[in-house]
Amino acid sequence: MSWPGNWPIHLPRRHIACDGEPRNDQSFEQRQAKGMTSVSDLSSFSLTGKRILVTGANTGIGQGIAVSVARAGGLVVGVGRSAMDDTAGKVAAVGGSFEAAKADLGDPAEGAAMLDRVWDESGPLDGLVNNAGIIRRADAVDLSEADWDDVMDVNLKTVFRLCQGFARRVLAEPGRRGKIVNIASVLSFQGGIRVASYTASKHGVLGLSRLLACEWAAKGINVNGIAPGYIETNNTEALRADPERSAGILGRIPAGRWGGADDIGDAAVFLLARASDYMHGAVVPVDGGWLAR
């Protein structure tokens, strides 16, 4: 592992019984003698000192990812078109560091320029999370060209431009490594209803993540993705407000609940950390079991 920075870090040792049950009836030595203990070292799951750029960090899943990254010791660069004070406050509350960068990601060129600006002005990045995304709902026969183009620009074209810009910078420095996490969707695998441009864009994110992983795996860049299920954010507000759709969705989720932004944030930490170094081109469902059904 040749990440720049201060690997390995050593977190406080915890003693864990092998069967997962708390065992306070025996000393550590007694349990160790019986092979019932292990000493945990979570350094491969840590992001200490890593600078991670997260798009769409002002709210929803992006905010959840920012807070999870900060909790794991990472330095968050939040990108968006709206004020990110709320996220900055939440990151500060967990003792993290937050830097805001403004960009309208509906303009792929603006997104690419922002990444270069961040890199030049405040230092290199270790990870990129392409989270910002939009959805437009209409029957396919009624979907406007603008609703097709707007969604494709934010959800797919900008994602490509940011991956490309990140990789160019990483590959320009011999020995540098990088991690990319693209936020896909269960609609990267399914058709969905009344969201033609969204489904097309998220299928694109899945294919693009695989393609880029194949090109860059041997060059020190991991490209992976997360396919969130139904998460409580602005994106799903309309669904949650519709009692029939809401009940139908909830009834189909094996976990029996909507997801929270931190469910996605913690999975992102894993894909940004050393622990996932041998993962390339995987788009991991974090969906309460939705796709398993």
Name the residues annotated as catalytic.
198
| Nearer CB in complex with ligand NAP: 131/197 | 131
Q: Does 260 bind ligand NAP (CB under 6 A)?
A: no
| Nearer CB in complex with ligand NAP: 15/136 | 136
Q: Does 87 bind ligand NAP (CB under 6 A)?
A: no
Could you give the 3-state DSSP secondary structure of residue 183? Answer: strand
The torsion angle over the Cα atoms of residues 75, 78, 79 and 84, rounded to 10 degrees, is -160
| Nearer CB in complex with ligand NAP: 60/96 | 60
What strands lie across the sheet with 127-130, from one edge to the other? Answer: 97-102, 75-80, 51-55, 127-130, 178-183, 221-228, 283-286
State how far the Cα of 171 lies from the Cα of 216, in Å rounded to an integer: 9
In Å, how far are 39, 222, 257 from 231, measured between CA atoms? 34, 25, 9
Question: Site residues for ligand NAP, window 183-202 (CB under 6 A)?
Answer: 183, 185
Q: Which stretch binds ligand NAP (CB under 6 A): 93-101, 119-127, 229-237, 240-248?
A: 229-237
Q: Does 78 bind ligand NAP (CB under 6 A)?
A: no
DSSP secondary structure letter of residue 95: T
Length of the chain measured in residues: 293
CB of 1 to ligand NAP, least distance (A): 29
Question: Site residues for ligand NAP, window 12-41 (CB under 6 A)?
Answer: none
Tokens of residue 181, six digits: 């996490």
CB of 254 to ligand NAP, least distance (A): 16
State how far the Cα of 273 lies from the Cα of 72, in Å rounded to an integer: 9
Give the residue carrying structure tokens 């603006």.
110
Q: Does 204 bind ligand NAP (CB under 6 A)?
A: no
| Nearer CB in complex with ligand NAP: 46/271 | 271
Q: Which stretch binds ligand NAP (CB under 6 A): 41-49, 89-97, 120-128, 228-236?
A: 228-236
CB of 103 to ligand NAP, least distance (A): 6
Paired sense of beta strands 37-39 and 15-17, if any: antiparallel
Q: Which stretch binds ligand NAP (CB under 6 A): 5-13, 25-33, 125-133, 249-257?
A: 125-133
Among 80, 127, 165, 220, binds ligand NAP (CB under 6 A): 80
Query: Smallest Cα–Cα separation from 160: which of 112, 124, 193, 214?
Result: 112
Tokens of residue 289, six digits: 């079991």
Q: Contact residues for ligand NAP (CB under 6 A)?
A: 56, 58-62, 80-82, 104-106, 131-134, 154, 183, 185, 228, 230-231, 233-236
